[in-house]
Chains A and B, each alone.
Chain A
Amino acid sequence: MHREKVPACVHPETYKYFLDRDAVISTWQRLAARWGEPRHNPSFRTMEIAAPRFTLRATVLGNPITVLRRRECTAADVAELHALLGYGE
């Protein structure tokens, strides 16, 4: 997997995480187990999990996942997220 920085967003460190195709379902299962089931927006065909320190949003295909950090988000929060996503620098 890899990530790409997204410009002009709510936080300067906003990224889209591109999951490996065979990891999409299991990744969302891990995220849901940690922060709750995703909420769907049928009008825009999107889904999201609103975690305390960031919002995880994707199209209904689940990939890529845009991670919108809140200002309070810490390095430890990001490290936990990366572990769940299976992302390494």
Chain B
Amino acid sequence: MVTGSDLVPRLTMQYEPATYRRRIAGHDVIIHCHHYNARLQRTIEGARGIDGKGILVGAAEVVFGDQLARALRPGDDEVTRWAVAELLYRHLGFGRIDLSRIGEGIVTADSSHFVEGWLAGLGETTDNVCSFTEGYLQGAVHAVTGAAVRVREVECMARGAGRCRFEVDRGERPAVAANHKEPAIASPREPGGPYAKSAHVDEQAIIDAVVGMPMIGDDAGLIPAFSVYLANMPADFYNRICIGFVEAMRGLGRDKAAIRLLVSDAEHCGMNTFRGIMHSPEWDGLIAPMVRDRADALHAIIAISNALGWGDWHVTAHTPRTLALESRYGYEAVGYREYRGLAAAPQCAMLTGVAAGVMELVYGEGTVEERYGTFSAREERCVGCGEPSCNFAVEQVE
């Protein structure tokens, strides 16, 4: 009998130092925390006039159907295939699902990144919050059996249930779409820069330490690190939900508002995530001894974000009131090109928002809400538009 430990090597993370990309089971994964994931879900599902939940479920179905298929082997029996589906979910940090009764159409989960994230970041809710898991399960059923099903959450821990419970509907529905991307955008060969560096912060030591951390789910399938819950999310998932959200909102003439919302979520993420990180024992142990002033903190934050796979981005110029960053292989720009071709406008909402957020965190004063909006960021060039790099300019708002 195949055990979970036998299957773990299939999910070994491969790290590409030149671009800081992490790859698990054939997919580049980006490490974000519960603040960002919960906010992104609330923004997309909360938009009126579009099927935001459908965007999330559909993206998870397509992406995890593909990722799980890549983790399976031709000789796997069905028991092993379901075991891989459980393991991948837990390994990536999304929680713990029990697929032992999926033949009866029932799945339960006693631990969830999205439940923890929603409750910790956004507070109590009257709605079920596991749209992501519904999509994951639909993708898993497709990868394991080839069937297209609908999965619906009927009980949710976010609403006080002891565990989340999902029902599988095997009725007629359209086939599961392929995760079609082409052509692949290669990473840049020429070095970027020149980049501004801190004399005190050893960015490579920070990156090496973060990359060396075992960023995989614990027994509960969660990754509590840096005082936040982290998860390894395929870049394709983020790209599909963000592109899908903006396109759906464009149908209502509200695509610019959609982009502003995505930037805003990332701006809050930049502040909340790194505020948590800067109060963590990991920061105190490794990074705080390197930090002598606020500029050092900013450089350390950028190093951490690179180690998390956010964008291969670096500081090109920096004052307490301004910041310029260059990203050469950000997942948003590259993903847009791969899914949609050349873009008419910059695509990196996450990096744009985070650029403002980290300046608000490092140089601002007061609560997160008091700091919000005190810096503005814009993406001046974007790989998505065919430029060699994405460039971000941040300024303090007068």
A positions within 8 Å CB-CB of B: 6-12, 14, 16, 41, 43-46, 48, 50, 55, 57-60, 66, 68, 71
Contact = CB atoms under 8 A, between A and B. Distances in A.
Nearest to A5: B279
A8 B229 contact: no
A13 to B, nearest CB: 10
Contact of B281 (A8, A11, A66): A66
Given A59-B285, A71-B119, 19 more contacts: A6-B276, A7-B279, A8-B271, A8-B272, A8-B275, A8-B276, A9-B120, A9-B279, A11-B120, A41-B282, A44-B285, A45-B286, A46-B281, A46-B282, A55-B224, A57-B280, A57-B281, A66-B280, A68-B227
B368 to A, nearest CB: 8
Contact of B279 (A8, A11, A58, A59): A8
Contacts of B35: 8
A31 to B, nearest CB: 14
Interface string B191-235: 000000000000000001100110000100000100111000000
B285 A66 contact: no
19 contacts: A8-B227, A8-B271, A8-B272, A8-B273, A8-B276, A9-B276, A10-B227, A10-B229, A14-B227, A41-B282, A43-B209, A44-B285, A45-B285, A45-B286, A57-B280, A59-B284, A59-B285, A66-B281, A68-B227
A57 B282 CA distance: 9
Contacts of A6: 227, 276, 279
B66 interface: no
A71 B121 CA distance: 13
A2 B72 CA distance: 51
Contacts of A46: 281-282, 284-285
B343 to A, nearest CB: 32
A20 B227 CA distance: 23
B116 interface: yes
Interface string B260-291: 00000000000111011001111011100000
A68 to B, nearest CB: 6
Interface in B108-125: 116, 119-120
Nearest to A4: B279
B34 interface: yes
A44 B286 contact: yes
Given A9-B120, A57-B281, A41 B213 contact: yes
